[in-house]
Amino acid sequence: MYRFLGKHTSLRAWLLLLPAALWLFVFFVAPLFIVLAYSFLERGTYGGVVWSFTLENFQRVFDPLYFNTFLRSFYIAGVTTLITLILGFPLAGYIATRPAARRGTLVLALMIPFWTNFLIRTYAWLTLLRTNTGLINVTLLSLGLIKEPLSLFGNDFAIILGLVYGWLPDMVLPIFAALDRLDPALIEAARDLYASETKVFWRVIWPLSLPGVVAGSMLVFIPSLGAFVTPAILGGGKSLMIGNIISNQFLAAHDWPFGSALSFVMMTVMLAATLIYFRVTSGKERRQL
Amino acid sequence: MSVNAARLSRRSRAAWLKKRVAQTLFSTYGIGAYLFLYLPIVVLVLFSFNDSRSTAQWAGFTTRWYVEMANDRQIILSLWNSVFVAVVSTAISTVIGTLAAMAMERYRFSGKLMMDAVLYLPIIIPDIAMAIMLLIFFNLSGIGFKPWEVLFFGVRLKVPFSVIIGHVAFNISFVAVVVRARLAQMDMTLEEAAGDLYADPWRTFWRVTFPMMLPGILGGALMAFTLSLDDFVITFFTSGAGFNTLPVRVFSMIKKGVTPKINAVSTMMLLFSLLLVGISITLSKGGDSESSIDRAV
């Protein structure tokens, strides 16, 4: 396998990697450490920083004002992940049980929203959910089904709906991949041994689809926790998530060190989640996804 | 016929009925799920043709929002900006990402694990974190948000270097992942065969390895192009003042208020995405067929 590589394989590998390594170390790793450094500095008057060490930024992260937003973001990301799982699993099962010819089309139909701009998909919901001028309320009011417009917008409901809509394909695709690999003979064997349908699901299908479930949950949870566009558009300026608080530190409050501390805490949480994911799934299963 | 047999057949009919009901429910659910995914997009497109400022009450068919869009110089300029950033960042990241993928998939070397982490992190980290990292970096390093003044298809553009640098930074990883996947499923025996037939490594690479990699490289490039066109958050934070790509423009339009003009712009972007999906399907079909290997050997 390694017959054409010559003797200095390590050197050759690094030559190939050099452009990527340079670009990523300068424009990704270095900025990462700068953010870490900034989070220990004091804020300057007009957006800059004062180069003196402080832990105050991290203390402020635990100020109830911000910490509650953190907790709410966790809650929203968690509920989003749970709902996409509950909606996505049967959908993946539906696709996996269709005839082979239709399966390709159905997967493609799932990929199209995936390739479509997230901002536009969020905007589509804005036109549906708005309180007085949204399609849903206007239609329901004109049909006389409701007397007062429903509050579908500017709250956690709207954000969760937008996130579920945006990330559902990311949950379905890995679960479908896992179900697609599942050997139908195993299910038949379980049935032949008089297992009930419930038992077939929980003892055969669920454990074998678990790698897909874990991957899908990661793919939904992480971007939901760091969401910025969805709460900015569907939260109506009232319902905020941690991503909005971070961006406010840079765009409005000019408190860069505090914004750095907030995003550093957020990244640490996500990294922890990713590491748990790598622990749970074996290397082989990850490669297949 | 005993009583038992009659009871059994009744029970099996009940079981059959139960199964039918379950399957019908399952299919209904599947169709419902797809409706959930597509209805908002259909409504969005529909109201781009609405002859009223409303996006909720139908008032007849018009194409005036498309005319307004075409006459909006800001929108057209931001469209050019988007295309330019996507083209340049895709070109750079495809080359860099492909080289990195070859190193990661074909070699064992010290520091590989670290490089793996560095390549995966930009995919894992949420947009907003990467955006503020880059914002601080460009500010502190003195690179700033200086524009690159270019003539692109006869249009004068001022594109900040920082935006292109940022796009390349997140695209390298995605290209590397796609190309690596292609490399992993390639049949190495063909390269060995070329070597056995006394092709030197250089010739083997260009006549065998590269043609087989090509679908992966094109797939990675297409992914980079799409991600770059679609990116809002990182562009928004790395552009400094006064530079808009189409998503950034759309975001500020949304913030000002909902109008069918935004629906028209969205529909245009949707069509463009569909076009890219079409190209990517054609590509992946080409990759699966034997033709690329036939040509190579």
**Under an 8 A CB cutoff, do B29 and A287 touch?**
no
Q: Which candidate from A14, A31, A120 shows the least CB-CB separation from B134?
A: A31
The per-residue pLDDT of chain A, averaged, comes to 86
More confident position, B187 or A250: A250
Radius of gyration over every alpha carbon of chain A, rounded to an integer in angstroms: 24
Whether B41 and B182 map to the same domain: the answer is no
For A32, which DSSP code?
H
Which pair of tokens denotes residue B210? 């590269």
Give the structural domain span for B26.
3-49
Give the structural domain span for A256.
59-122+153-288
Question: How big is the CA angle at B227 (ends B271 and B164), to the nearest 5 degrees?
Answer: 120
Q: Would you state the pLDDT for residue A47?
A: 63
Report A:149-208 residues touching B (Cβ under 8 A). 165, 168-169
pLDDT digits (tens, 9 = 90+) for A111-131: 888 788 899 999 999 999 988
For B168, nearest residue in chain A (alpha carbons) = A23
CATH number at residue A85: 1.10.3720.10
Q: Would you state the pLDDT for residue B78?
A: 94
In this structure, how many other beta carbons lie within 10 angstroms of the beta carbon of residue B36? 14
In the predicted structure, residue A4 carries a pLDDT above the cut 60: no
pLDDT digits (tens, 9 = 90+) for A153-208: 888 999 999 999 999 999 999 999 999 888 888 888 888 888 888 888 888 888 88
Whether B36 and B141 map to the same domain: the answer is no
State the Cα–Cα distance between residues A95 and A168, nearest whole angstrom: 14
A252 touching B (Cβ < 8 Å): no
CB A267 within 8 Å of CB A275: no
- B42-60 b/e (C-beta count within 10 Å ≥ 16 → b): ebbbebbbbeeebbbeeee
Q: Would you state the pLDDT for residue B111?
A: 85
Length of chain B: 297
Amino acid letter, residue A279: R
Whether B261 and B166 map to the same domain: the answer is yes
In the predicted structure, residue A289 carries a pLDDT above the cut 80: no
Amino acid letter, residue A211: P
State the Cα–Cα distance between residues B133 and B114, nearest whole angstrom: 20
Domain membership flag for residue A52: no
Integer CA distances (angstroms), A45 to A48, A254, A263, in order: 7, 8, 21
Q: Would you state the pLDDT for residue B265?
A: 95
Whether B21 and B121 map to the same domain: the answer is no
Q: Would you state the pLDDT for residue B238?
A: 93
Domain count of the fold of chain B: 2
A143 touching B (Cβ < 8 Å): no
Whether B108 and B197 map to the same domain: the answer is yes
Selected residue of B125, B174, B255 to mutate for chain A interface (largest A Cβ count, 10 A): B125
Whether B38 and B135 map to the same domain: the answer is no
Q: Would you state the pLDDT for residue B4?
A: 64
Whether B186 and B285 map to the same domain: the answer is yes
Domain membership flag for residue A237: yes
Domain membership flag for residue A20: no
Whether B249 and B107 map to the same domain: the answer is yes
Q: Would you state the pLDDT for residue B30?
A: 93
Selected residue of B254, B265, B267 to mutate for chain A interface (largest A Cβ count, 10 A): B254
Domain membership flag for residue A203: yes
Whether B164 and B284 map to the same domain: the answer is yes
**Under an 8 A CB cutoff, do B33 and A94 touch?**
yes
Instruction: Give the residue carrying structure tokens 């969760």.
Output: A160
Half-sphere exposure of A254 (CA within 13 A, CB side): 7
Q: Would you state the pLDDT for residue A44?
A: 78
A28 touching B (Cβ < 8 Å): yes
**Cβ contacts of A256 on chain B, cutoff 8 Å:** 136
**Cβ contacts of A125 on chain B, cutoff 8 Å:** 40
State the Cα–Cα distance between residues B229 and B245, nearest whole angstrom: 8
Report A:117-136 residues touching B (Cβ under 8 A). 117-121, 123-128, 130, 133-135
**Under an 8 A CB cutoff, do A165 and B37 touch?**
yes
**Cβ contacts of A31 on chain B, cutoff 8 Å:** 133-134, 136-137
How close is the nearest chain A Cα to the Cα of B126, in Å? 6
Whether B70 and B45 map to the same domain: the answer is no
Residue ranges of chain B whose pLDDT lies below 70: 1-8, 286-297
Domain count of the fold of chain A: 1
CB A16 within 8 Å of CB B102: yes
Amino acid letter, residue B126: P
**Cβ contacts of A137 on chain B, cutoff 8 Å:** 56
Q: Which candidate from B56, B133, B232 shows the least CB-CB separation from A133?
A: B56
Domain membership flag for residue B198: yes
**Cβ contacts of A23 on chain B, cutoff 8 Å:** 96, 168-169, 172
Whether B44 and B91 map to the same domain: the answer is no
* pLDDT level of residue A8 (50, 70, 90 thresholds): low
Whether B21 and B75 map to the same domain: the answer is no
In the predicted structure, residue A142 carries a pLDDT above the cut 70: yes
Domain membership flag for residue B87: yes
In the predicted structure, residue A94 carries a pLDDT above the cut 80: yes
Q: Which residues contact A274 (CB under 8 A, 6 or more apart)?
A: A218, A222, B124
> Which ipTM score applies to this complex?
0.86
For A33, nearest residue in chain B (alpha carbons) = B133
CATH number at residue B189: 1.10.3720.10
For A252, which DSSP code?
T
CB B266 within 8 Å of CB B258: no
Q: Would you state the pLDDT for residue A74?
A: 92
Q: Would you state the pLDDT for residue A1?
A: 42
Beta strand pairing call for A41-43 and A49-53: antiparallel
Q: Would you state the pLDDT for residue B8?
A: 64
**Under an 8 A CB cutoff, do B277 and A112 touch?**
yes
Domain membership flag for residue A15: no
State the Cα–Cα distance between residues A121 and A116, nearest whole angstrom: 7
Q: Would you state the pLDDT for residue A7?
A: 53
